[in-house]
Amino acid sequence: MNNDAQLLIARLLTQQTLRRDERLVKRVLSDDVFRAEVDGHLAACGMKLLDNVYADHVTLALRREIEPKIFGARESWQNNNFGLARDGVALLVVLWALIILPKRERQEAHQHAQQDQEDMFGKEKPLPRAEETSLGISYKALLADFGEKLGKKTRLDMNLGILTRLGFIERRGDELHEGPLLDLMMDTDVLKERIINGALADVFKNRPLPPPAASEAGADGQTL
């Protein structure tokens, strides 16, 4: 293993996430030979690199074929390895739906506007960074809308604390914002239609779905 591959993997294992604009991350996302080397070493450990063009960070996750041996190792199938109870997982899904889905629509709308205004040949423009388009949601509104179904204030506050420590969200006063992992550890292609037209249809008022994401979605089940 060359030094750069070793350093990148070691940093991801110890720091959990790295920004896309860091030197080694930019290299692994643009250098096919380097990416193949990193992927090979991670695969030998049952892991993979998680990258999402809508997110500002990258992280590591279990490979699909390893999940049954990890999540099914106990008497019952684990729904996550973060120590989240069912109401914590439900809160995570709600936060993802309220923060990430609108952010992705804003990113795609901004990208299309740039293409129309700046490039008569329709050359593809990069998506705007998540930190430029991701908006927070009100804690008070979240409590009012979902508190009764998510364990009321005590359980909601406890689970928000866990999700903050894990890096899924950031709390800024009364507002809850996207953390490094929120747009990486959820499978958008699987969850988006089910949430908007199903579980949270009343919240989204059955508004039309945005265009399907063209990029690879988040993790394949690490948190759900």
pLDDT score, position 134: 74
Q: Are 162 and 88 in contact (CB under 8 A)?
A: yes
Q: Are 182 and 169 in contact (CB under 8 A)?
A: yes
CA of 210: how far to CAs of 109, 134, 162, 213, 220, in Å? 10, 16, 30, 8, 21
Per-position pLDDT tens, the chain of length 224: 679 999 999 999 999 999 999 999 999 999 999 999 999 999 999 999 999 888 899 999 989 888 888 776 665 556 666 778 888 988 998 999 899 888 888 877 766 665 555 555 555 566 666 666 778 899 999 999 999 989 899 999 999 999 999 999 999 999 999 999 998 887 666 666 666 555 555 555 544 444 444 333 344 444 33
pLDDT score, position 21: 92
Q: SS3 helix, strand, coil % of the chain, rounded to 5?
A: 50, 10, 40
pLDDT score, position 159: 94
pTM over 0.75? The answer is: no
Cα separation, 221 vs 82, in Å, equals 12
Cα separation, 45 vs 35, in Å, equals 16
